[in-house]
A and B are shown apart, each in its own frame.
Chain A
Amino acid sequence: MAAEAPPYTLLIIEDEIEITRAVGAALREQHPAIVEASGGRTGLDAIKTSRPDIIILDLGLPDLDGLEVCQRIRALTDAPIVVLTARHGEADTVALLNAGADDYITKPFSTQELAARVAAQLRRAATPRHAPISINADGLSIDIRLRQVKRGPMLIRLTPIEWDILGVLVSDPGRVFTHQQLFTAVWKRAFGDARLYLRVHVTNLRRKIERDPADPRLIITAPGVGYRFIAES
């Protein structure tokens, strides 16, 4: 399977050499082409010269603000960005996701987890960007075109807003949607104090589609950041 994978180029932008080394060691077996940059500016240069397929970006770089690096990367390439964040960094993480980063992982992280996130982002980037037509997850089948959700043979009735939220989440399984992104996508207006609406509707949606709403397996909370839909079962 590994042999079939196209040779992807990874770019790691991280100032701590030890972390760069550890990340490289974890990913090199699957992705031998790894470019390293120790700062924001060198990272941006590396994007122009080596055209990476995925970028692993540390949030706390010494030379440039993480948000600025993220925005400037987005001006150069559509390659997925996975952000390495620190604890208590939720606000920064949200800002980066809103600015176009694709996923984040909090230090200290397990290397398997990082490898899985990288693989998922590469898979996402490789498949054409149109929403799936139907999804089966944890015994739940979702038909996007028919706007139908079933658990086994049982049809589940969703309110229009609940359907919209689910629709946005399943349009990109695995991706973290920030509260703001979800709200804007569903309510089609600016983000106010309305995070509350979103949370209550997500809770109600879980009560309808999860086997155990107190132990959700489909709509996962990214604490302080947003929600993601997990499709693999």
Chain B
Amino acid sequence: MKQKTVRFVEWALWLSVVVVATVVMRSSRGQIEQAHAAFVYILIVLGATAGGERWLGIVVALLGFLSINYFFQPPFDTLTVSAPLDLLALVAFLATALVANHLLTRARIEADRAKRHAEEIEHLSAEIRHAEALREANRMKDILLASVSHDLRTPLTTIRALAQDIQTDGSSARMHAGVIVEQADRLGKMVADVLDLSRLRAGAFTMNPEVNTAEDLLGAAVRQFSGVPDANRIETVIDYTKPALLGTFDFVQSLRVLTNLIENALRHSPRGTAVTVSVAETGSNLSFQVADKGPGVSLSEQQQIFEPFYRPSSAAADAGAAGLGLSIAKRLAESQGGSVAYADRPGGGSVFTFEVPAAAQELVETLT
């Protein structure tokens, strides 16, 4: 509909240009030669072809042909051609106009085609990029599945073998039961981690950030380790001379972040060395730090440690975890506006820093 209107306007415009030019030139017919008129019509043909379309150019060319003959070639106001040279001029005009029309049209078609091609290429490359993203996601899923099935099989195999041994030799039951419980717990933690990771990736985690005290979180994290043999290695640093620090975070998910960081520190540092958990306010953030006296993380591995299933080269093959703790911690922190970062500890070891937004200090002052 709109296309049609545009075409109508084009036709009306260029046909009236022909009429106006003819009228103007006609009024001063005495002073101009037919060649001048031909030039003007050629220009109009070019304009009509460029601005409008092929047929408009052809029609304008024919009109020009007729009006040169009729108005500007003696004898005036008749279609009779008296001199053979005039006929040649007329044919030359028509030929020039039509060739120009043809060339211009072809150029425009070529340009249109090029533009369409460019659009098509753009469209195709977008599709390719999309396909590549899907392939990458699929590849990640394959890696994930391979790692998961490998990691899940180890405890499963152990549990199955021990249970079967109990089946044939009941006397070993008590001896094996402890290992079965331990391996079942390990399995349970892995399944929970994998589920969490996929929920995080799918964005299916609901965060519920509220104002909480830093000490409450830290205390709850330490308590998660009560009964664990390594628990006495955890030491806490809090400045009790200052009012309680407040932050805005999801308590349950932040507890997982901090617990994962502590667990990681205990796992990757020598027995008997302390894992120091501290909290301080840094600028507009609440900053929890977990520092250990382990080997630290080499520069080349500092990004990779936050990738799912990554195990540092220095770690034992069976470190007792699927290598998901840090990646889950990082994602859980980021999905509530916080962060988890690694830094070398001066004097050796690692420092993992978990930051969440601090809560307004006025809140503290009105309360304490």
Residue A213 lies at the interface, judged by CB distance under 8 Å to chain B: yes
In the complex, how many residues of chain A place their beta carbon closer than 8 angstroms to a beta carbon of chain B? 24
Interface residues, chain A, with chain B CB atoms under 8 Å away: 87, 90, 108, 110, 195-197, 199-204, 206-207, 212-216, 220-221, 223-224
Residue contact B216 to A202, C-beta cutoff 8 Å? yes
Residue contact A214 to B236, C-beta cutoff 8 Å? yes
| Segment touching A, from B87-95, B206-214, B261-269, B324-332 | B206-214
Q: Which of A204, A212, A214, A221 has the most CB of B within 10 A?
A: A214
B34 to chain A, nearest CB (A): 91
3 shortest interchain CB distances as A-B pairs: A214-B236, A224-B252, A203-B213
Which residues on the A side are within 8 Å of B181 (C-beta)? 110
Report how far A200 CA is from B216 CA in the complex, Å.
9
| Segment touching A, from B10-18, B104-112, B218-226, B312-320 | B218-226
A138 to chain B, nearest CB (A): 13
Report how far A202 CA is from B213 CA in the complex, Å.
9
Closest A residue to B184 using CB positions: A108
Say whether, besides A196-B363, A214-B236, A223 and B213 are in contact (CB < 8 Å): no
Which residues on the B side are within 8 Å of A213 (C-beta)? 215, 219, 238, 240
A199's contact among B188, B212, B218, by CB below 8 Å, is which?
B212
Which residues on the B side are within 8 Å of A223 (C-beta)? 220, 251-252, 255
B280 to chain A, nearest CB (A): 13
Closest A residue to B250 using CB positions: A224
Residue contact B216 to A199, C-beta cutoff 8 Å? yes
B33 to chain A, nearest CB (A): 93
Residue contact B223 to A206, C-beta cutoff 8 Å? no
Residue contact B222 to A195, C-beta cutoff 8 Å? no
B131 to chain A, nearest CB (A): 34
Residue contact B246 to A200, C-beta cutoff 8 Å? yes
Which residues on the A side are within 8 Å of B251 (C-beta)? 223-224
Residue contact B210 to A216, C-beta cutoff 8 Å? no
A131 to chain B, nearest CB (A): 25
Closest A residue to B237 using CB positions: A214
Which residues on the A side are within 8 Å of B222 (C-beta)? 214-215
B218's contact among A87, A110, A207, A214, by CB below 8 Å, is which?
A214
